[in-house]
Amino acid sequence: MYRYDEIDARIVRERVEQFRDQTRRFLAGELSEDEFRPLRLMNGLYIQRLAPMLRVAVPYGHLSSRQLRKLAEIARKYDKGYGHFTTRQNLQYNWPALEDVPEILSELAEVEMHAIQTSGNCVRNTTTDAFAGVAADEIIDPRPYCEIIRQWSTLHPEFAFLPRKFKIAVSGSEQDRAATWVHDIGLHVVKTDAGEVGFKVIVGGGLGRTPMIGEVIRDFLPTAHLLTYLDAVLRVYNRYGRRDNKYKARIKILVKAMTREAFAAKVEEEWIHLKDGPATLRAADVEHYASFFTDPAYETLEANPAEFTAKLAEDKAFARWVERNTRGHKQAGYRSVVLSLKKTGVPPGDATDAQMDAVADWADQFGFGEIRVSHEQNLVLPDVRERDLFDLWQLAKAAGFATPNVGLLTDIICCPGGDFCSLANAKSIPVAEAIQQRFDDFDYLHDIGDIELNMSGCMNACGHHHIGHIGILGVDKSGEEWYQVTLGGSQGSGASIGKVIGPSFARAQMPDVIEKILSVYVDTRTEEERFLDTVRRIGIIPFKERVYAKHN
């Protein structure tokens, strides 16, 4: 993984000292709340419903075991003993005291971490595939390009005050596992018949108040021109994006207003001034960043060793966990393990300090000291020998990380909602827990198969509800919490926005609503048909009729 050089380290240390002084002056009454607000936001610090919230950047979801131990230590020393992993592949602390935040940032700097640009109207944490570098279908490893984008966008003077926040995702595989179609800019690797590799550039996707699937404005961008082209897109957005209305300030609104063709033409026009300029990537530049992401010292192993297959045959629970919570690996004899943070009764995405310490230990014991954060709010150990999976499974079970539900209904993506977030209209964690409790039957969950249920407590859509096969949105109706349901959303290459099925429901109704939706699927599915495929085949009307039947 990327390691700071002396310049990186000095910039982060100086930033910490600047914020330490800014915080001191605010607490001493020398800075007003209005003066302090942009300073704290530039360092990832929000004021939430009950306490400050500090969002720590995890660049493209990569952590070393050393960094994860530090995150655990901070949770123990300065918070309430846990952290929340987000859909932006970051980590949030919900209970730090304001006066402690400079020291927290100082401790993060010791392990090459910070909270810069995790909030505010700037380029946020670039995200990518949690299986980057180990996926069997990978065309190029996207991590060097993510790091290049990170360095280009961090403290970029021209893009520090954009009309609104700006999110970039990069996918380097045939299958899109980075939700590139619902980002301000999505970069999806493509390979020409001649073998040249570049990026398809998707612009204007996004969720939130006005969800949209992005538009392709360039089918093939040679990798050398990545930064000059991103500069051109950001410059057009910075110049023409609306600043008079924050609800219409995202780039997706601009692209729709201008039309894809006109926006693309503006970008090409701007790019003429930048193309082949100083920001053009030389082969040596890419090689430099790629040198941080070389393969670890894999052993030469046979796939499916005898001791592993014997355990699969002997232990049904182990076999079920392997089926749901591990993924194929480019290296024979290895698998990637998804540690589920979706155990029933635990807020989705939360991990305690003890659990984080345990994962760091497993990363060292069974892998090469590396952990990934997925945008589905789980943790990934990317390189585990198949012969070690049984031992790891037993440890993960004891720590509460082996729930075999990855990709199933109870693997819920969920924002903190009204329990913490001051923007939320409704609580999301209690609804997620109620659904998990209702469907805490693995035989049933495995029978209904792959279903993505995403939930947000407000229109900001931090829980990605628009692209859930089943989406739940918390809404406020005359001061009461209600929940709107969408069906048919999806991420990936066939990304789609879910459709609202009708009027919203009270919180207590939600498990029954989900049960009725699933009953339609079970009654009408064809053999081997996934839930999403059934929704797309029959439409939402049969689901709507079943859910609202008592009112008809």
Domains and CATH numbers, the chain: 6-110 (3.90.480.20), 142-291 (3.30.413.10), 306-399 (3.90.480.20), 413-548 (3.30.413.10)
Strand 168-171 relative to strand 326-328, pairing: unpaired
Tens-place pLDDT, residues 501-523: 999 999 999 999 999 999 999 99
CA atoms 71, 72, 73, 78: torsion sign: positive
Quote the CA–CA distance of 362 and 390 in Å, as a whole number. Answer: 13
Please tell me what DSSP assigns to residue 61.
G
Residue 535 Cα distances to 141, 411, 487, 531, angstroms: 34, 19, 7, 6
- For the CA atoms of 57, 63, 66, 71, the dihedral, rounded to the nearest 10 degrees, stands at 40
Paired tokens of 253: 């609104």
Exposure of 193 by Cβ count < 10 A (0-12 exposed, 13-18 middle, 19+ buried)?
exposed
Q: What is the pLDDT of residues 196-221, one digit of tens each?
A: 999 999 999 999 999 999 999 999 99
Quote the DSSP letter at residue 225: G
Q: Are 221 and 201 in contact (CB under 8 A)?
A: yes
Residue 342 has pLDDT above 50, yes or no: yes
Question: According to the model, what pLDDT value does residue 552 have?
Answer: 45
- State pLDDT tens for residues 348-373: 999 999 999 999 999 999 999 999 99
- The model's pLDDT over 129-184, given as tens digits with 9 standing for 90+, comes to 999 999 999 999 999 999 999 999 999 999 999 999 999 999 999 999 999 999 99
The predicted model scores a pTM of: 0.95
Task: Quickly list DSSP for 85-148.
Answer: E-TTS-EEES---GGGHHHHHHHHHHTT---TTSSSSSB---EE-TTTTT-TTBSS-SHHHHHH
Strands 185-191, 168-171: pairing kind: parallel
| Residue 68: C-alpha distances to residues 5, 418, 423, 551 (Å) | 20, 27, 28, 51
pLDDT at residue 299 is higher than 80:
yes
* SS3 letters across 449-472: CCCCEEEECCCCCCCCHHHCCEEE
In whole angstroms, give the CA distance from residue 182 to residue 214: 6
Q: What percent of the chain has pLDDT over 70?
A: 99
Question: What would the DSSP string read from start to end of 148-215?
Answer: HHHHHHTT-GGGSS-SS-B-EEEE-BSS--S-GGGSSEEEEEEE-TT--EEEEEEES-B-TTS-B--E
In the block, tokens 């996707």 appear at: 205
